Amino acid sequence: MSHTQGKTNRSNAKAEKVHAYTPGLKVKQETTLRRSRTLPISGDVLVKEGNKVGFDTVIAQMRIPGDPNIVKVALLLRVEPYEIEKYMLKKVGEKVKSGESIAQYTALFGMVKRTVTSPIDGVIENIGASGWVTIRSPPVTVDLKAYIPGKVVEVIPSRGVVIETNAAIIQGIFGIGGENYGIINMVVSSPDETLSPDKITPKNKGEILVGGSFVSLEALQKANECGVAGIVVGGIDGNDLTKLLGYEMGVAITGEEEIGVTLIITEGFGKMTMSLRTYELLKKFEGMSASISGVTQIRAGVIRPEIIIPHDPVEGKEADEELSSGMTPGTAIRIIRQPHFGSIGKIVSFPVELQMSKTESRVRVVEVELEEGGRVLVPRANVEIIET
Amino acid sequence: MSFTKPKDEMQFILATDVGSTTTKARFFHKRSNEWRFLVAGEAPTTVEAPYEDVTLGVRNAVREVEELTGHVILTEDGNGIILPSESDKGVDIYCTTSSAGGGLQMMVAGNVKSITAESANRAALGAGAIVMDVIAIDDEREDYQKIQRIRTLRPDMILLAGGTDGGTTAHVLEIAELIKAANPMPRLGAGYKLPLIFAGNKDVRPQITQLLGENFALSMVDNIRPVLEQEVIEPARRNVHELFMEHVMSHAPGYDKLMKWTDVDIMPTPAGEGIAMQLIAKNYKMNTIGVGLGGATTNVYSIFEDHFVRSVSANLGMSYSICNVLKETGVNNIARWIPFEVEKKDVINMLRNKMIRPTTIPDTLEELIIEHAVAREAIRLGYEHHKTLATRLKGVRVERDLADIFEQALASTYIDMMKINVIVGTGGLLSHAPRRIQSMMILADAFQPEGVTRMFQDSVFMMPHLGVLSTVYPEATWQIFDKDCLVRLGTMIAPVGEANVGEDVVNVKLEMPDGGIKEQHIKQGEITRVPLQEGMTVKAVITPQQKLDIGAGKGKTLEIDVEGGAVGVIIDGRGRPFRLPENSQDARKSVLQWIDSLDLYPSINGKEWRDMI
């Protein structure tokens, strides 16, 4: 047995399809999406299976208890704590209005009168032996919105629903900020153009702005001032991210930042031309409404940020949510590390032998025909599949 | 365990390590009655969508082995390993380690944000975790918001504290109720039970068990705040650390499937590495420090005067956690090791790009050097963390009044670098460093060995593999370990103390194998390399200048045998403690001089390093 060259027919056959090292991001024009939307605690589901829902449709509601408010009744009446029961005008469970008397002390035939009023609207929850009375404000209703328009295909009792929709989906590589929605507006004319502050005006309120290669901190701040819903752009500067957040991010786990605008970067950090495929797809849906979420978790069990653009199904077009996972000669790929970061190309071959990189490391490579011309050898770890 | 074949009839062994970033397959074969390493296969770990199944990464790595050897290992459907071997297919043992789960991201909870929750936070940070959020009764969020937060963050572990012993019970139970209601979904695959450590009021343990015992892997430790003025974080800190190493980090989507592929229990990577480090210390009978520098964690091991300690800094690593290294050390500390002009913002962007595409590898010399700079800082910080665990005192009780809750009092370590005789490095970055001297200098700059220290590294990253293999087949393990795994890098000679610039710091006379004497006078700030082949031992007479110590006392001569290796002998006159010049231009000049004198990297873009000094 030769240990370096002795490839069997079987391993040759396997070599024809090689798993992509970095999974490609979804950039799909048409797919059938299912998303589960649930309340954190039990509540009421307001829609039924088969119902159509919009971005803003409240699909479920939960009622959370109001804040407790403590009134030191014994102290205010100047009586002993154990005595307060006899001076209370309201009982446990009774509703009270703000300013309404809840306890009263009278002496000397009514000449001395001390009254305690409720500071809030609420319900008497407890009359304590400590002389304190707890008044609970009314429960607050919290709504859960659909976020993605579509059809309710499943109701999870007391929790929420599963929504199905036909949509385009674009995954970003990294995002910050939570869920939002708005109309897609291309504010640059090419994927390598920078999204500068002057391209953002108050007219963009509630919109999802698509920039090209880069968004600066100033532009993000302007977007916030103008009430922009989301920004989709190729790159951002790492320092600007820290300034925007007010702290330095250690690991890529995001989604709950309170920064106003939801930001998705599609390529990486630094100035990076947005991939033409992503740019063209967004352009195709300009003027349409989309859902946007910056939630990202890069660790085992990864979550990527996404833009979902619901649209009517195109007849005869197969819609699925799956990614192909293998590379073969001819597969379109993107290089995701220097020196050809961002270049697009097609796989030519998978040399079996390790190759010497400029670092002097011997690595597994893939031969790529670049779109801009020329062939290069790239570490297999440094390419990702572009879905076609 | 029982094997399908007697050991003396075995021919092939396959071992894998499923790391957070890369899955590494190592293939061993018996030739002329001796076990040897044959070939390596590597592929990215497949924890990300759409794969979310670690066995796919194992399959890809094993396929590389098949391609390179022609030996068929995977079953026809690719869903398992052929066991036992038969002529040119199958293996006789398949075993694996795993750290696929990545770093430790946890949540802590307590009654009062500034008291119990703060103590719990300190315990978690001290264990090397990344704390994603601190939940407290008084954190000004609604209960449903806290529940939502626990659910969306999907922590790997929860540390719950609250109440003094004999004190309030209501609040801590309230928090327990919230956690129960959140019922966070595991990110590490089905069958994984989320560990929850309770370090609160002892009186509520029965109620906590009743509330959380069913849905969580519950453990109880001493109250972190037994009385208000006293903080006892050690039991909680050590419990977090142990649970992470033994339980959390090895789990990942597809773990259950992988368990079916092997008859040998899957071992966490640090456990495998730890066995390998102990093997070295035992064999050389020397105090040893080792490091496993991974993608999500940095694992440090010490065997000092027969006392073994391992630490896993689950917040420091070279891929997923690379920006946490940046955050902990700051860009200036990374930039000080970079010998060329580069804007700090470009360094930050490069590291952030590695964070979001963690499986990529450097393909330019500049990016390799920047990653090596980060590696120095990750190991340095990991060792700082290790020293807080390598202490004689356990369960330190710190009296705190409410004003000094931010002060952390730590017992000092017993590790004395002058008494450390061996330093070992493993992990993808160190094993794959294109020149052996690069990994030797990364280890030296991070650990700052003192006196005379032997340096080793893992050849192609197989220490975890051999660690797990040693549990079932120790005889084969040592054969492979000695011949194919352990690379003897050489010896580092570094006097302790500082002299003035330009002063001689040490004089080293080496009796070379050809009978000649090689004498080196090293000045403050200089570093030099004397080639000496592996297997060669020569007598050295080392005389430090009066203010400095090489192990025999200040200014005293030490006569000692020094070993050669892939690098040889390095004489380091940069001082201990080692400090780079404050001024960035001077620092760069120093780094350039060291790179040039050690021939650390090839010339860059056609330019020689010495021309850049």
pLDDT at A209: 98
Residue A59 lies inside a defined structural domain of this protein: no
Q: Does A283 touch chain B (CB under 8 A)?
A: no
pLDDT at A92: 92
Beta carbon pairs, A and B, within 8 Å: 217
With a CB cutoff of 8 Å and minimum separation 6, the contacts of A7 are A15, A352, B67, B70
pLDDT at A203: 96
B31: burial class by Cβ within 10 Å (0-12, 13-18, 19+)? exposed
Look at residue A2 and tell me whether its pLDDT is greater than 70.
Answer: no
Of B44, B67, B359, the CB nearest to A352: B67
**Residue B254, CA atoms < 13 Å, CB-side half-sphere:** 26
With a CB cutoff of 8 Å and minimum separation 6, the contacts of A100 are A117, A118
Q: Does B411 touch chain A (CB under 8 A)?
A: no
CATH number at residue A379: 2.30.30.30
Residue A150 lies inside a defined structural domain of this protein: no
Q: How many residues does chain A have?
A: 388
Q: Does B332 touch chain A (CB under 8 A)?
A: no
Interchain contact, B358 vs A298, CB within 8 Å: yes
Closest C-alpha among B205, B204, B200, B209 to residue B233: B200
- A283 and A173 fall within a common domain: yes
Look at residue A179 and tell me whether its pLDDT is greater than 50.
Answer: yes
The per-residue pLDDT for range B519-551, each reduced to its tens digit, is 999 999 999 999 999 999 999 999 999 999 999
Interchain contact, A7 vs B348, CB within 8 Å: no
Residue A7 lies inside a defined structural domain of this protein: no
CATH number at residue A252: 3.50.30.10
Q: Which residues of B, range 112-131, sit inside 8 Å of A by Cβ?
A: 130
**Structural domain boundaries enclosing A123:** 68-136
Q: How far apart are CA A315 and CA B76, in angstroms?
A: 39
Residue A141 lies inside a defined structural domain of this protein: no
Interchain contact, B360 vs A363, CB within 8 Å: no
CATH number at residue A123: 2.40.50
Q: A-chain residues within 8 Å CB-CB of B151?
A: 40
pLDDT at A81: 85
pLDDT at A6: 34
Residue A339 lies inside a defined structural domain of this protein: yes
Interchain contact, B356 vs A173, CB within 8 Å: yes
- A37 and A185 fall within a common domain: yes
pLDDT at A321: 45
Interchain contact, B326 vs A248, CB within 8 Å: yes
Q: Domain extents for chain B?
A: 7-100, 105-248, 271-312+368-579
Q: B-chain residues within 8 Å CB-CB of A336?
A: 357, 360
Segment A65-70 shows an average pLDDT of 76
Of B70, B348, B349, the CB nearest to A11: B70
The residues with which A44 forms a beta bridge, in sequence order, are A61
Look at residue A227 and tell me whether its pLDDT is greater than 80.
Answer: yes
pLDDT at A131: 83
- A370 and A250 fall within a common domain: no
A65: burial class by Cβ within 10 Å (0-12, 13-18, 19+)? middle
Q: A-chain residues within 8 Å CB-CB of B71?
A: 1
Residue pair B128/B313 in contact (Cβ under 8 Å)? The answer is yes
Domain boundary among A280, A310, A340: A310
Interchain contact, A249 vs B323, CB within 8 Å: yes
Q: Which CATH superfamily is domain B7-100 in?
A: ATPase, nucleotide binding domain (3.30.420.40)
A224: burial class by Cβ within 10 Å (0-12, 13-18, 19+)? middle
Q: Which residues of chain B have a pLDDT value below 50?
A: 394-396, 401-410
Look at residue A67 and tell me whether its pLDDT is greater than 80.
Answer: no
Interchain contact, B144 vs A250, CB within 8 Å: no
Q: Does A36 touch chain B (CB under 8 A)?
A: no
ipTM of the complex in this document: 0.83
Higher confidence at residue A316 or residue B57? B57
Q: B-chain residues within 8 Å CB-CB of A217?
A: none
- A37 and A178 fall within a common domain: yes
Look at residue A326 and tell me whether its pLDDT is greater than 80.
Answer: no
Least confident of A7-11, A53-57, B185-189, B370-374: A7-11
pLDDT at A121: 93
Of B47, B144, B365, the CB nearest to A64: B144
- A204 and A278 fall within a common domain: yes
**Residue A317, CA atoms < 13 Å, CB-side half-sphere:** 13
Residue A319 lies inside a defined structural domain of this protein: no
Q: How far apart are CA B61 and CA B465, in angstroms?
A: 14
Report which listed range, A85-89, A269-273, B492-496, is most confident. B492-496
The total number of structural domains that make up chain A:
3
Could you tell me which CATH class the domain B105-248 is placed in?
alpha beta
pLDDT at B477: 94
Segment A70-76 shows an average pLDDT of 89
Residue at token pair 């966490």: B268
Q: Does A9 touch chain B (CB under 8 A)?
A: no
